[in-house]
Amino acid sequence: MADPKVLLLDEPSMGLAPQMIREVMNIVQRLNREGVTILLVEQNSKVALKFADYGYVLEGGRIVLEGPGAELAGNDAVISAYLGDAAG
């Protein structure tokens, strides 16, 4: 790829061991720091929101919540529906 401006990723953590997920996400973060915009579609909400500057929560193909990743990760509705027990 010659200097991409946007990278689209669909479920990059699917089927990977936890160590490989960390490695992939570290690479994604590095690319983002280098100026590449990342569009990440990910069902692993904990991973996605840990790295997201901004996120959208979809239900039935509709956006039901949106905001900064850290804000969504701390949202009670998101925790209950997608992240499980906040203490876990």
Q: Say what the pLDDT of residue 50 is.
A: 85
Q: Say what the pLDDT of residue 87 is.
A: 40
Q: How many domains, in total, are found in the chain?
A: 1
Mean pLDDT along residues 20-44: 92
pTM of the predicted structure, to 2 decimals: 0.75
Q: What is the distance between the alpha carbons of residues 35 and 54, in angstroms, rounded to a whole number?
A: 16
Q: Say what the pLDDT of residue 7 is.
A: 94
- 88 inside domain: no
We report the CATH number of the domain holding residue 13 as 3.40.50.300
List the domain range (segments joined by +) for residue 39: 6-83
- 1 inside domain: no
CA 35: distance to chain centroid? 17
Closest to 7 measured CA to CA, from 19, 23, 29, 20? 29
The letter for the amino acid at 18 is P
The token pair that represents 1 in the structure block = 């790829």
Say if residues 72 and 80 touch (Cβ distance below 8 Å): no
pLDDT at 27 over 90: yes
pLDDT at 83 over 90: no
